[in-house]
Amino acid sequence: MQSGITVSSELQDAFARFNSDTSTFCLPVTITAETLTPLAPISFQGTPSADSFFSALPQLSSVLQPKTPIYLLLRRTKSSTTSLIALTYIPSNAPVRAKTLFASTRSTLTRELGTEKFTSTVFATEEDEVLGQDAWRERDGEGPNAISREDMMGEKERELEAVRKAEAEARSGTPGRDIGIGGTFGPGSGSGMRVSMPVDEAAKTALRDLQDGGLVQLTIDIPTEKIILADSKTGVEASAVASHISSSSPRYTFYHYPGSDVVVFVYTCPSGSSIKERMLHASSRRNAITVAEQEGHKILKKIEASGPDEITDERLQEEVNPPRDQGPARGFARPRRPGR
């Protein structure tokens, strides 16, 4: 799974120069207009040597920003051998959308520039992990925490782990309730994690017209990054809701449960969907709910699932009329899988 971002010709040229110029310490890379683009290179101070790497690290502070992810291609001389390192820096407090975009593109960067040219890849979330000598010595196997979980994970695992963390931070709902896909909902409304996205008028109209037994599905048009209407149905039985939900792409489904004034919000995100789809849909859920509320619906019942097979008649009934011994109605809950 990839984000769709590609390496620009400018980066290809800049990397060729960086690769051949041993006086260059770092080539910073960012994402601009759907492409990976180079920033101004950083040179070693003096003649490169085994100690130059550590003495050059403080220079990286000039390109590190507290909430802005960046890629750093680094040159290091160790034991008379020069190697290249691809470092991905994604600050822990960066916006969710930026986190997932940079996490899902990191393998594209090394692959298109030539995986064989890099001796290692590094993932960092704090400045000290980039600038601190102790962090690098631990990676060298010289520190007390030399073998980390990151070291033991494969590239694909690291990529998905970063996206999982970003998706977890995008969630909001009942405080502390485990939703089963890599995290819990924290308190509050998710302020600062939500991506504001334009909404198609047809989607607003369908939500406005949603009646008893009706079902409205919204999705995000990836090229335009706009919330659009995916489907609208009337007279849908609870047992048939799952049959109307895509099993391959994320969906925001609003279902007016028959015989009640309850509109249930169902967010489905199939594991086979692309990372960019997951990223945009996960960070825009609150936006979709807000649109429904602006069209006159009070959304108190929310379900998250990895696929439509988890949205059963029993699960919807349980959400609308929870058993009395389970306390107040839940916020965002992950349904049990069929047969469990």
Give the separation between CA 288 and CA 253, rounded to whole angstroms.
Answer: 10
Note the Cα 119 to chain centre separation in Å: 26
Task: Say yes or no to pLDDT of 266 above 90.
Answer: yes
Residue that wins the pLDDT comparison between 281 and 46? 281
DSSP 65: B
Residue that wins the pLDDT comparison between 147 and 120? 120
Task: Say yes or no to pLDDT of 100 above 60.
Answer: yes
Identify whether the C-beta of residue 301 lies closer than 8 Å to the C-beta of residue 237: no
Per-residue confidence (pLDDT) for residue 283, from 0 to 100: 80
CA atoms within 13 A on the CB side of 315: 26
The domains of the chain, with CATH numbers, are 6-166 (3.40.20.10), 174-333 (3.40.20.10)
Residue that wins the pLDDT comparison between 187 and 90? 90
Confidence of residue 10 (pLDDT cuts 50, 70, 90): very high
Task: Say yes or no to pLDDT of 279 above 90.
Answer: no
- Judging by beta carbons within 10 Å of its beta carbon (0-12, 13-18, 19+), is residue 149 exposed, middle or buried? exposed
- Judging by beta carbons within 10 Å of its beta carbon (0-12, 13-18, 19+), is residue 284 exposed, middle or buried? buried
- Dihedral sign computed on CA atoms, order 186, 188, 189, 193: negative
Give the separation between CA 235 and CA 252, rounded to whole angstroms.
Answer: 19
SS3 143: coil
Give the separation between CA 338 and CA 319, rounded to whole angstroms.
Answer: 16
- Mean pLDDT of the chain, nearest integer: 80
Dump the DSSP string for 143-178: STT-S-HHHHS-HHHHHHHHHHHHHHHH-BSSTT-B
Give the separation between CA 229 and CA 247, rounded to whole angstroms.
Answer: 17
Confidence of residue 176 (pLDDT cuts 50, 70, 90): very low
Torsions phi, psi for 145 (to 5 deg)? -115, 45
Confidence of residue 272 (pLDDT cuts 50, 70, 90): confident
Torsions phi, psi for 19 (to 5 deg)? -65, -30
- Side chain identity at residue 124, one-letter code: A
Give me the mean pLDDT over the 299-321 stretch: 89
- Dihedral sign computed on CA atoms, order 33, 170, 254, 270: positive
- Side chain identity at residue 122, one-letter code: V
Give the separation between CA 302 and CA 292, rounded to whole angstroms.
Answer: 13
Note the Cα 332 to chain centre separation in Å: 19
